[in-house]
Amino acid sequence: MQEVLTLIEQKKQEYAQLPLFNFMRDKTINHRQRLAWAPCAAHFIMNFAELNKYFLRVEPTNDPIQRLINKHTYEDDHHWLWFVEDMKNLELDKSLKFSDALKFLWGEETKNARWLNYQLYRYTCQATPIQKIIVIEVTEATGNIMFSATAEICKEAKAITEKPCRYFTDFHLDFETGHMTGESGIEEILQHIQLSEVNRQEALELVENLFTVFTQFTSDLLVYAENHKIEQELKAA
């Protein structure tokens, strides 16, 4: 398993180099514009709770690894509430007709957010606890990069608006440690798991596939942010 964790770490560093994160660090761009991709991520963020509840969690269980996973899911299944709150506080809470909201959430611009969900469901549905841990570790790794970037923007936003945010800030980052949470010494436990050759190959492939879908999703967020000018939308509203 150590080799799998090392690959996740390596892919995490590559993920951190995606252009979206340069865009988010660019202080010449308005701070709200640098978070303008948030609506595009809604489908993924809102479904993440259900990934935890209905796919990652299995109760009751006698499997010690599944027990750790269950514990983790109780932490991670309600963060969408903070996202909804932040959308209001960052004034990204645009009004839409219900039919337009549906077309947006299932539209072309947001297809990679949905595709990411479907792939996460695919890889966790009837999966082994080890496969689920890999999914959790990859989502934690990407989340850690993403929330490190958003937290910096929110520090600027707070200085300007004074409105408190939770999803995009250090508050959330404290829960997204970059690794599975809920138990101390979990990394030790994971490192010592022995995989058969077949499972090792499958695990490495799973890591590659997951980072591919996270990369597609993240690249689309940048396209969305670049194509949706916040100030123009506010004026048009």
Per CB under 5 A, residues contacting Fe ion are 79
Residue 52 C-beta: closest distance to Fe ion, Å: 9
Amino acid at position 49, single letter? A
Amino acid at position 230, single letter? I
Residue 176 C-beta: closest distance to Fe ion, Å: 5
Smaller CB distance to Fe ion: residue 43 or 79?
A: 79
Residue 175 C-beta: closest distance to Fe ion, Å: 6
Smaller CB distance to Fe ion: residue 33 or 79?
A: 79
Residue 172 C-beta: closest distance to Fe ion, Å: 6
Smaller CB distance to Fe ion: residue 12 or 230?
A: 12
**Which residue in the shown chain puts its C-beta closest to Fe ion?**
79
Smaller CB distance to Fe ion: residue 146 or 222?
A: 146
**How deeply is 132 buried, as exposed, middle or buried, from its count of CB atoms within 10 A (0-12, 13-18, 19+)?**
buried
